[in-house]
Amino acid sequence: MNKLFGFFAMGVLMLTSCSEAQNAEQPWIVDRFDDIKVIRYEVPAFENLTLEEKELVYYLSEAAKCGRDILFDQNFKYNLAIRRTLETIYTELEVKTGDEFAAFEKYLKKVWFANGIHHHYSNDKFTPEFSEAWFREQLTKYINDENRQMDNDLLCKILFDKELYASRLNQKEGVDVITESAGNYYEGVNQVEVEAFYNGMAAADANNPEPISYGLNSKLVKENGKIYEKVWKIGGMYSPALEKIVYWLEKAATVANPTQKEVIEALIKYYKSGDLKDFDDYSVLWVKDTQSNVDFVNGFIESYGDPLGRKASWESVVNFRDVEACKRTEIMAANAQWFEDNAPINPAYRKKEVKGVSAKVITVAMLGGDCYPATAIGINLPNADWIRKEHGSKSVTIDNITYAYDKAAQGNGFAEEFILREEDRERAKNYGKLGDDLHTDLHECLGHGSGQLAPGTKGDELRTYSSTLEEARADLFALYYLGDEKLVEIGLIPSLDVAWSQYSDYIMNGYMTQLSRIELGKDVEESHMRNRKLIAEWCYEKGKAENVIELVKKDGKTYVVVNDFVKLRKLFGELLCEVQRIKSEGDYEACKALVEGYAVKINPELHKEVIERNKALNIEPYGGFVNPEYELVTDAEGKVTDVKISYPANYVEQHLHYGKEYSFLPSLN
């Protein structure tokens, strides 16, 4: 539940040096289609790693690529069959011209980007812009008994019937979120059955001080009237991909330092046993290793894709420390207890002793699974509350990714269009990037780790609203402290202008500009977006009498302007207090009222306006990445002497390559 996505890219992150750009040649953007831009990222200082570290990056990166199919299958049970069919047609097509082909290519690019046929962010099924007749023609021509992955009629029905599997993740109030979601975490069971199944397990574990994250690594199915879990492990579901991952992890262990070797071996043990206790053991070792230069995430980690927030999607990130930028987060970590003690919340819900806050700025070397092509710009793990409480959490912000976002956004005209006042634009230009970076650091490093539950609260009471509330909590913590003089005092910011620039941007984005990413007529579904809307609208309403936030109309355009930063900060504090109370007490009804009241429904007129203004700028609202490639250099005896990095800049080729070389699962699992 603890990822911060790079969607500040919509706001201030895009503002640096507008004079520089305006050129059609944008060397950081390698592809654009539909609502997506694909960016390349660089891995500065890779060359400075030791040979063993480079090798470690190489092996962990191979492991990262081997889990790609798992995510496709998790997102929807027919995704792999569909992807393979589309790739076969795409590769074998003789005539690659014309409108139908262009629409087909765009569709395939979208499927690669989303790791399936549902939008990675809105979760809505894609609508093909090519005709069924054309598609059936290609099926007849290029798909035969040898390369057929699924029945043609079923395939066409899935692609072209709008109603069928319409949403990957349907969390609308009042629906059965399990049967109405197309994700592949459950089959043959309904919401009541799922909740009964896991409530039973949780009840049996009620007095365990180290509660197991039941359901995290399995699909729950009902077959012949019996409900049981198909566990994702070697010898279980997804075994062929997990075997490859373990193969590369074993290689990685041979070049890792002793501490990290133990971590990797614990992960291998878990992949073999599928036992969630082993996963916790691994997580504890992993969180304690704060010294290793190279680090990684590899596993079933985040549960955004499950409507009930239990099942985790597979992901991987390989990275190493950005030494210079780490000085920022080290200051934060050193002051962690002060932040906790001064949080504007009920003292009973503050952590008495903040443990193991480790925060660093990292350089990403490889993205995989649910972190590819779209990735977070910050990560805070592990997710298990008891481990966070007992052993702390590791928190990272990813500098080379935000840097690439920033570069790719130069000169796109966003600030001129959406920021009304010259002084706000100026502040954003000077302090925007630093404000974004610090917001991410505070959100990840301190926000998620802060606070504690009341005795008797288990942590699963908030059900479908828990992710939104948790993100709001971390954001509010970051926003509140960003405007604290303490930050100037400890040298993190030169002046509070950094905070004010972030406040303007956050409110504008939450209230208005982020809406460009949602189709007209739809509600806000994704939890990070919900959280931003919740905060912006709540503060707007509560500050209305004092005109803290103002909606200004000028030449028919709406602008969101913050008039009083100090009062806004006070509102952030008040909302944080309530959000923490809700989490600590597990107050479902209050949580529901807050989310449904502020975070979901969109004003249709404002929505339409934002979409049109954004469209006129030609800015794709979503970004993702192509990975670098690594190659082992060996001597005559086959001994590794170096690892070379290169930066391919072709999105299509990368995905065809991954589909060919890193695809290990059958089409149906």
Q: Using CB under 5 A as the criterion, which residues of the chain lie in contact with Zn ion when the complex forms? A: 2, 4, 471, 474
Nearer to Zn ion by C-beta: 313 or 627?
A: 313
Nearer to Zn ion by C-beta: 116 or 510?
A: 510
Smallest distance, Å, CB 575 to Zn ion? 16
Smallest distance, Å, CB 121 to Zn ion? 15
Smallest distance, Å, CB 185 to Zn ion? 21
> What's the gap between Cα 299 and its chain centre?
14
Smallest distance, Å, CB 470 to Zn ion? 7
Smallest distance, Å, CB 395 to Zn ion? 10
Angle at 449 between CA 216 and CA 443, to 5 degrees: 105
Smallest distance, Å, CB 393 to Zn ion? 11
DSSP H or E run through 479: helix 466-482
Nearer to Zn ion by C-beta: 4 or 15?
A: 4
Nearer to Zn ion by C-beta: 68 or 532?
A: 532
Nearer to Zn ion by C-beta: 184 or 452?
A: 452
Smallest distance, Å, CB 472 to Zn ion? 9
Nearer to Zn ion by C-beta: 3 or 83?
A: 3
Smallest distance, Å, CB 531 to Zn ion? 8
Cα within 13 Å of Cα(258), Cβ side: 0
- Rounded Cα gap, residues 318 and 269, in angstroms: 20
Structure tokens of 581?
Answer: 């109370």
Q: What is the DSSP letter of 237?
A: B
- Bridge partner list, 286: none
Exposure letters 205-244 (e unless 16+ CB within 10 A, then b): eeeeeebbbbbbbbbbbbeeeeeebbbbbbebbbbebbeb
- Rounded Cα gap, residues 368 and 315, in angstroms: 6
Nearer to Zn ion by C-beta: 2 or 303?
A: 2
Give Cβ neighbours of residue 589 (< 8 Å, ≥ 6 apart). none
Q: Where are the alpha helices (DSSP H) in 512-622?
A: 527-542, 565-585, 588-598, 604-617
Nearer to Zn ion by C-beta: 449 or 621?
A: 449
Give CA separation, 113 vs 72, 162, 350, 371, 375, in Å.
Answer: 11, 20, 40, 11, 11
Q: Which of 346, 383, 477, 498 is nearest to 432 (CA)?
A: 498
First to last CA, the chain: 26
Nearer to Zn ion by C-beta: 470 or 620?
A: 470
Smallest distance, Å, CB 43 to Zn ion? 24
Do residues 560 and 551 lie in contact, with contact meaning Cβ atoms separated by under 8 Å?
yes
Nearer to Zn ion by C-beta: 245 or 474?
A: 474
Nearer to Zn ion by C-beta: 155 or 579?
A: 579
Mutual orientation of helices 152-160 and 132-142 as an angle, nearest 10°? 150
Q: Where are the alpha helices (DSSP H) in 311-419?
A: 323-334, 336-341, 385-391, 399-408, 414-418
Smallest distance, Å, CB 525 to Zn ion? 17
Do residues 430 and 393 lie in contact, with contact meaning Cβ atoms separated by under 8 Å?
no
- Rounded Cα gap, residues 258 and 491, in angstroms: 36
Smallest distance, Å, CB 360 to Zn ion? 16
Structure tokens of 504?
Answer: 């303007």
Do residues 15 and 415 lie in contact, with contact meaning Cβ atoms separated by under 8 Å?
yes
Q: Which of 287, 478, 276 is nearest to 389 (CA)?
A: 287
Nearer to Zn ion by C-beta: 410 or 502?
A: 502
Mutual orientation of helices 68-75 and 239-255 as an angle, nearest 10°? 150
- Rounded Cα gap, residues 383 and 315, in angstroms: 14
Nearer to Zn ion by C-beta: 399 or 444?
A: 444
Instruction: Please classify residue 491 by burial: count the beta carbons closer than 10 Å to its beta carbon, then call 0-12 exposed, 13-18 middle and 19+ buried.
Output: exposed
Structure tokens of 293?
Answer: 């230069």
Smallest distance, Å, CB 435 to Zn ion? 17
Smallest distance, Å, CB 309 to Zn ion? 14
What DSSP assignment string belongs to 39-93? EE---TTGGGS-HHHHHHHHHHHHHHHTTHHHHHHHH-TTHHHHHHHHHHHHHH-
Smallest distance, Å, CB 7 to Zn ion? 12
Residue where the block lists tokens 């409507």 = 307
Smallest distance, Å, CB 448 to Zn ion? 6
Nearer to Zn ion by C-beta: 380 or 412?
A: 380
Nearer to Zn ion by C-beta: 2 or 468?
A: 2
Do residues 80 and 121 lie in contact, with contact meaning Cβ atoms separated by under 8 Å?
no
